[in-house]
Amino acid sequence: MRTLHHVPHHPPSRLVRLALAEKRLPVELRSVPIWERPEDFLILNPAGEVPVLRDREPLANEAHLAGAPGAQPPKLLTLCGASVIVEYLEEAYPQINLMGRTLAQKAETRRLVDWFMRLFDRDVTSALVGEKIDKRLSRQSVDSTAIRRGYKNLKFHLDYLGWLAETRSWLGGHDLSLADFAAAAQISTLDYLGEINWHQVPAVRDWYSRIKSRPCFRGLLSDRVPGRQPPAHYADLDF
């Protein structure tokens, strides 16, 4: 069985769950308390980070099932990190394309995945989610300056997201792509904390409403962080 080691409120983990669900690839989820640095997990990924996907190599698997002469049993692959995993999924399971087809589309998808996974995370999520949830789970003291900086940066990032949503069908261009899932992974985590004032960002709300209504989103909307309930609108498709 395909297994994803993840943290439920962690945007890179959410990006991978959305990509797997959109591609209709079933997966068993295993929540990892990474702040405790469990040794058996560090063997899988020496970086000590989620998400980590374990998957039987699909091409070898098909040859094996077909009983091809000299076929090797399928290798179990360990894929570390959201960008490594989504590149793998695009190549291993290309039937549903989430990257784009031309060089220009792929470059734009990857630019925006990097934007939301790295820049948005550095500017906003590491401050708001890092301080409000992660530090509580690992019993560290909270830095209120970081939280204020996170709110200031959130405004800039919502402006950029709103501009993309207003000028394009989906964030990366004409088609739904990993760019939308990367942004939705961040936004859904912040929305769980009640950090998005939806009345102030109508273009972002319209885009998020469309992506939130997709079947691939259901798993995320039923997640609960221990000891912290989401606002009433979190799982509401008509928020």
Contact yes or no for 162/204 (Cβ under 8 A): yes
Among positions 91, 159, 206, 236, the unique one binding a copy of itself when judged by CB under 8 A:
91
Q: Does residue 118 interact with a copy of itself by CB under 8 A?
A: yes
Instruction: Return the amino acid letter for 132.
Output: K
Q: Does residue 84 interact with a copy of itself by CB under 8 A?
A: yes
Contact yes or no for 89/112 (Cβ under 8 A): no
Q: Which stretch binds a copy of itself (CB under 8 A): 25-33, 77-85, 132-140, 179-187?
A: 77-85
Nearer to a copy of itself by Cβ, of 46 and 215: the residue is 46
Q: Are strands 76-80 and 28-31 parallel, antiparallel or unpaired?
A: unpaired
Q: What are phi and psi of 183, to 5 degrees?
A: -65, -45
Other C-beta atoms closer than 10 Å to the C-beta of 83 total: 18
Q: Does residue 88 interact with a copy of itself by CB under 8 A?
A: yes
> According to CB under 8 A, which residues from 151 to 170 bind a copy of itself?
160
Q: Which stretch binds a copy of itself (CB under 8 A): 14-22, 115-123, 131-139, 186-194?
A: 115-123
State both tokens at 236.
């509401």
Cβ 144 to a copy of itself shortest distance, Å: 21
Q: Does residue 175 interact with a copy of itself by CB under 8 A?
A: no
Rounded (to 5) percent helix, strand, coil in the chain: 55, 10, 35
Residue 173 CA to residue 163 CA, distance in Å, equals 12
Q: Does residue 134 interact with a copy of itself by CB under 8 A?
A: no
Instruction: Return the amino acid letter for 231.
Output: P
Nearer to a copy of itself by Cβ, of 106 and 149: the residue is 106
Instruction: Return the amino acid letter for 175.
Output: D
Q: Does residue 111 interact with a copy of itself by CB under 8 A?
A: yes
Among positions 6, 110, 205, 212, the unique one binding a copy of itself when judged by CB under 8 A:
110
Other C-beta atoms closer than 10 Å to the C-beta of 91 total: 11
Contact yes or no for 110/176 (Cβ under 8 A): no
> According to CB under 8 A, which residues from 18 to 47 bind a copy of itself?
46-47
Cβ 184 to a copy of itself shortest distance, Å: 20
State both tokens at 58.
């699909």
Q: Does residue 75 interact with a copy of itself by CB under 8 A?
A: yes
Q: What are phi and psi of 101, to 5 degrees?
A: -110, -30
Q: Does residue 137 interact with a copy of itself by CB under 8 A?
A: no
Q: Which stretch binds a copy of itself (CB under 8 A): 13-21, 99-107, 135-143, 206-214?
A: 99-107
Q: Cα 224 to chain center, whole Å? A: 16
Question: Which residues in this chain contact a copy of itself in the complex, by CB under 8 A?
Answer: 46-47, 57, 59, 75, 77, 79-81, 83-84, 87-88, 91-92, 103-104, 106-107, 110-111, 114-115, 118-119, 160
